[in-house]
Amino acid sequence: MAGAPTKMAGASVNALRALKQQAKAERIAVAAETHGNELYVYHHIQTKQVVYSLTKNLNNNDSIKQLPFIGKKSVPRALRKDHWAPLASVSFPKPSLGLTTYQLLREFRRLHETCYDKSLVTEKTRKERKWMIMDQKANSVADLAASLRIAIETENKKAEEERRLHKIKYEKTIARLAAKAEAEGTTFVARPLELEEGEVVHEGDITVRWRNMNDKEHAEEWPHVVSHAEQGRADRPYVAPRVRPAEEAELVVEVSEPETEVIYRAVDKP
């Protein structure tokens, strides 16, 4: 009897572990189904570097891998939340559209980083060249418009090819069943095939929400099915921390002469 409580405790632990594993598997399955429905674009407020993410919260390792080493201090050791701000977020009706757009954006980024004008090498200093290559904000907006157009065209062509193959399969099946009915001396009536024609991505299906609506002007043209809107507070996961409201505090700069050190401290207003 002494071992009975131990066995019951062990069974409870195993049951709890199984429930946790089941819940984790369900979360992974749901995430896999919606992976690609949302695309987030963030930019560095100082260098104007841009990173892309399929999740609302930036992953430190994945984001740093998107930043090429151009020179000293071009790649940070870790992301600082007060240095990165949302540029835009995109909603897609299908995950495949978002994944295709994400892949195209990464490919366009690599072209900007490697296939730049030769004048950057001959006419600019190393420091100037580094800052110009890091500044990808305007390029990213133009790349987003181009990537959306290519992704939409690819999705429409894929849907058209699927309709064509489905029609061929339907015709072969009808011919086989008609021949079988004729051999058996029976009557065969085929139901007409109903397929949805036209584009699979309609106007308003893709929405780009901007932190600043003026940023969309970096692209010359947007696909007609893409709509634009301003971001709400829920779309802004990264906000620079505030120590104290402006009306209650002011910034005072103190300079200590011997060490020539600048000290910033917040003091209350009288």
Q: Which two tokens stand for residue 176?
A: 């086989």
Q: Quote the pTM value.
A: 0.70
pLDDT tens digits in sequence order for the chain, 270 residues long: 455 566 556 667 677 777 777 776 766 666 666 788 999 999 999 889 999 999 888 888 888 888 888 888 888 888 888 889 999 999 999 898 999 999 999 999 999 888 877 777 788 888 888 888 888 999 999 999 999 999 999 988 888 888 888 888 888 888 888 888 878 877 777 777 776 666 778 888 899 999 999 999 999 999 999 999 998 765 555 444 443 344 444 444 444 444 434 444 444 444
What span, in angstroms and rounded, lies between the C-alpha atoms of 145 and 153?
A: 12
**Longest Cα separation, the chain:** 109
Nearest to 93 by CA among 231, 211, 210, 207: 207
Cα-flanking dihedrals φ and ψ of residue 53, to 5°? Answer: -145, 145
pLDDT reported for residue 115:
83
pLDDT reported for residue 61:
85
pLDDT reported for residue 161:
87
Residue at token pair 């131990």: 6
Q: Which two tokens stand for residue 43?
A: 């930019």
Nearest to 85 by CA among 206, 205, 215: 215
Contact 251, 245 (CB under 8 A): no
What span, in angstroms and rounded, lies between the C-alpha atoms of 233 and 180?
A: 64
H or E element at residue 51: strand 50-53
pLDDT reported for residue 240:
40
pLDDT, tens digit, for every residue of 40-66?
999 999 889 999 999 888 888 888 888
Q: Which two tokens stand for residue 7?
A: 């066995």
Q: Are strands 249-256 and 261-268 parallel, antiparallel or unpaired?
A: antiparallel
pLDDT, tens digit, for every residue of 144-157?
999 999 999 998 88
Strands (E), 107-260: 206-210, 226-230, 249-256
User: Angle 137-184/95-114 helices, nearest 10 degrees?
Assistant: 140
